[in-house]
Amino acid sequence: MARLSAAAITEHLASLSAWNRDGEAIQREFMFPSFLEAVAFANRVAIEAERADHHPDILIRFRRVTLVYATHSESGLTRKDFDGARMADQVAEAR
Protein backbone atom coordinates (compact mmCIF):
# COMPACT_ATOMS: atom_id res chain seq x y z
CA MET A 1 0.00 0.00 0.00
CA ALA A 2 1.54 3.29 -1.11
CA ARG A 3 1.90 6.28 1.17
CA LEU A 4 -0.49 9.11 0.23
CA SER A 5 0.63 12.53 -0.97
CA ALA A 6 -0.19 15.64 1.06
CA ALA A 7 -2.87 16.59 -1.49
CA ALA A 8 -4.48 13.14 -1.30
CA ILE A 9 -4.46 13.27 2.52
CA THR A 10 -6.18 16.66 2.45
CA GLU A 11 -8.78 15.31 0.03
CA HIS A 12 -9.47 12.23 2.14
CA LEU A 13 -9.71 14.28 5.35
CA ALA A 14 -12.25 16.59 3.71
CA SER A 15 -14.51 13.57 3.17
CA LEU A 16 -14.45 12.64 6.87
CA SER A 17 -16.20 14.31 9.76
CA ALA A 18 -14.34 15.01 13.01
CA TRP A 19 -11.07 13.31 12.03
CA ASN A 20 -7.86 15.32 12.41
CA ARG A 21 -4.37 14.86 11.12
CA ASP A 22 -1.70 14.46 13.78
CA GLY A 23 1.65 14.28 12.03
CA GLU A 24 1.73 11.01 10.10
CA ALA A 25 -1.56 9.77 11.55
CA ILE A 26 -5.25 10.62 11.71
CA GLN A 27 -7.30 10.52 14.88
CA ARG A 28 -10.77 11.04 16.24
CA GLU A 29 -12.34 11.00 19.68
CA PHE A 30 -15.75 9.38 20.15
CA MET A 31 -17.94 10.05 23.22
CA PHE A 32 -20.43 7.57 24.68
CA PRO A 33 -23.08 7.70 27.42
CA SER A 34 -21.31 5.06 29.51
CA PHE A 35 -18.03 3.21 29.94
CA LEU A 36 -19.64 -0.05 28.81
CA GLU A 37 -20.83 1.53 25.56
CA ALA A 38 -17.35 2.92 24.95
CA VAL A 39 -15.81 -0.53 25.42
CA ALA A 40 -18.48 -2.14 23.23
CA PHE A 41 -17.65 0.34 20.45
CA ALA A 42 -13.94 -0.39 20.78
CA ASN A 43 -14.68 -4.12 20.56
CA ARG A 44 -16.77 -3.68 17.40
CA VAL A 45 -14.00 -1.59 15.82
CA ALA A 46 -11.46 -4.26 16.81
CA ILE A 47 -13.49 -6.99 15.08
CA GLU A 48 -13.78 -4.99 11.87
CA ALA A 49 -10.10 -3.97 12.02
CA GLU A 50 -9.10 -7.62 12.34
CA ARG A 51 -11.20 -8.48 9.27
CA ALA A 52 -9.44 -5.70 7.32
CA ASP A 53 -6.03 -6.64 8.77
CA HIS A 54 -5.42 -2.98 9.61
CA HIS A 55 -5.56 -1.98 13.26
CA PRO A 56 -5.88 1.42 14.93
CA ASP A 57 -4.39 2.42 18.23
CA ILE A 58 -7.32 2.47 20.65
CA LEU A 59 -7.33 4.53 23.83
CA ILE A 60 -10.30 4.24 26.20
CA ARG A 61 -10.74 6.91 28.86
CA PHE A 62 -13.97 6.26 30.72
CA ARG A 63 -16.64 7.30 28.16
CA ARG A 64 -14.17 8.54 25.50
CA VAL A 65 -12.55 6.38 22.85
CA THR A 66 -9.73 7.81 20.75
CA LEU A 67 -8.77 6.00 17.55
CA VAL A 68 -5.48 6.68 15.79
CA TYR A 69 -4.75 5.30 12.33
CA ALA A 70 -1.36 5.23 10.62
CA THR A 71 0.35 2.69 8.39
CA HIS A 72 3.54 1.99 10.29
CA SER A 73 5.06 -0.10 7.48
CA GLU A 74 4.81 2.96 5.20
CA SER A 75 5.76 5.51 7.88
CA GLY A 76 2.70 7.56 7.04
CA LEU A 77 -0.87 7.56 5.86
CA THR A 78 -2.31 5.22 3.25
CA ARG A 79 -5.76 4.55 1.86
CA LYS A 80 -6.14 1.80 4.49
CA ASP A 81 -6.09 4.41 7.25
CA PHE A 82 -8.95 6.34 5.70
CA ASP A 83 -10.88 3.12 5.04
CA GLY A 84 -10.46 2.32 8.73
CA ALA A 85 -11.68 5.77 9.74
CA ARG A 86 -14.79 5.37 7.58
CA MET A 87 -15.44 1.95 9.09
CA ALA A 88 -15.18 3.38 12.61
CA ASP A 89 -17.60 6.15 11.71
CA GLN A 90 -20.06 3.56 10.41
CA VAL A 91 -19.73 1.50 13.59
CA ALA A 92 -20.38 4.63 15.68
CA GLU A 93 -23.45 5.54 13.62
CA ALA A 94 -24.88 2.02 13.93
CA ARG A 95 -24.96 2.04 17.72
Per-residue pLDDT tens for 21-65? 999 999 999 999 999 999 999 999 999 999 999 999 999 999 999
Q: Is the pTM of the predicted complex or chain greater than 0.85?
A: yes
- Average per-residue pLDDT in the chain? 96
pLDDT of res. 1: 75
Assess contact for 19 and 85: CB atoms under 8 A.
Answer: yes
pLDDT of res. 17: 87
Cα separation, 55 vs 17, whole angstroms: 20
Walk me through the domains of the chain, giving residue ranges and CATH numbers. 6-94 (3.30.1360.20)
pLDDT of res. 95: 78
φ, ψ (nearest 5 deg) of residue 54: -150, 115
> CA triplet 78, 82, 87: central angle to 5 degrees?
140
Q: Which amino acid is located at 54 in the chain?
A: H
Cα separation, 12 vs 14, whole angstroms: 5
